[in-house]
């Protein structure tokens, strides 16, 4: 007779993901896809890749709002597409979720403060209220992912 160790996992008790867990997973994937698409559209437009000059066009769109100083506009235009691509890929892969979700929440909070309809070319299609509601919804998804990751880490530490 062999006795099972207390650390062994009983596979008969494993359950499928709960509904909130599935919603967090789907929200994480959706948010990751949106960030990847956002980075992609900043690097590939007019039918070509713009690795050398993408920041020039994007800086013009950001600078047209006249909210940030010129140096910050240039820095943001160079960094933001790659940040979006990286965060989106990490969200989809589920790697480093605690930090990735916190950085994504901060990025979305910053992006919600900027008027984006002109820079995305949807000025005639989306009113500011819809844009704010959409940004707020994505921000809440990112916060929910962050809180669930911290909660699951804390629950895992209690069991050990």
pLDDT digits (tens, 9 = 90+) for 106-159: 887 777 766 554 445 444 555 666 767 777 787 888 888 888 887 776 666 666
Q: How many domains does the chain have?
A: 1
pLDDT band at residue 87, thresholds of 50, 70 and 90? very high
Per the model's pLDDT, the better-predicted residue between 19 and 75 turns out to be 75
Q: At how many degrees (to 10) do helices 97-112 and 128-159 cross?
A: 160
Report the SS3 class of residue 115: coil
Is pLDDT at 76 greater than 90 in this prediction? Answer: no
* C-alpha–C-alpha distance, residues 143 and 137, integer Å: 10
Residue 1, domain member (yes or no): no
- The reported pLDDT for the residue numbered 91 is 92
| Residue 92 domain boundaries | 21-153
Alpha-carbon distance of 58 to 78, in angstroms, equals 8
Which of 157 and 40 is assigned the larger pLDDT?
40
The answer to whether residue 95 is domain-embedded is: yes
The one-character DSSP state at 96 is: S
For residue 73, count CB atoms less than 10 angstroms from its CB and return exposed for 0-12, middle for 13-18, buried for 19 or more.
buried
Calculate mean pLDDT across residues 57-74. 77
**Mean pLDDT for the chain overall:** 75
In a domain, 6, yes or no: no
Q: Half-sphere exposure of 129 toward its Cβ, with a 13 Å CA cutoff?
A: 0
Res 30 pLDDT > 70? yes
What is the pLDDT at residue 117? 47
Give the residue-averaged pLDDT of 95-107.
87
| Residue 3 falls inside a structural domain | no
Residue 64 belongs to a domain: yes
Exposure string of 52-68, with b = 16+ CB inside 10 Å and e = fewer, is eebbeebbebbbeeeee
Rounded average pLDDT over 6-20:
57
pLDDT category at 68 given cuts 50, 70, 90 is confident
């Amino acid at each position: 007779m062999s006795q099972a160790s207390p650390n062994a996992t009983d596979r008969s008790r494993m359950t499928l993901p709960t509904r909130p867990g599935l919603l967090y997973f789907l929200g994480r994937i959706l948010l990751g896809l949106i960030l990847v698409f956002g980075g992609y559209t900043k690097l590939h437009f007019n039918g070509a890749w713009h690795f050398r000059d993408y920041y020039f066009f994007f800086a013009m769109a950001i600078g047209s709002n006249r909210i940030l100083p010129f140096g910050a506009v240039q820095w943001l235009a160079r960094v933001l597409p790659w940040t979006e691509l990286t965060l989106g890929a990490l969200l989809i892969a589920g790697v480093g979720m605690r930090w990735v979700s916190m950085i994504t929440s901060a990025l979305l909070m910053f992006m919600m403060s900027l008027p984006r309809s002109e820079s995305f070319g949807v000025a005639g299609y989306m009113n500011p209220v819809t844009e704010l509601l959409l940004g707020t919804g994505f921000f809440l998804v990112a916060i929910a992912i962050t809180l669930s990751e911290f909660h699951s880490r804390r629950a895992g530490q209690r069991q050990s």
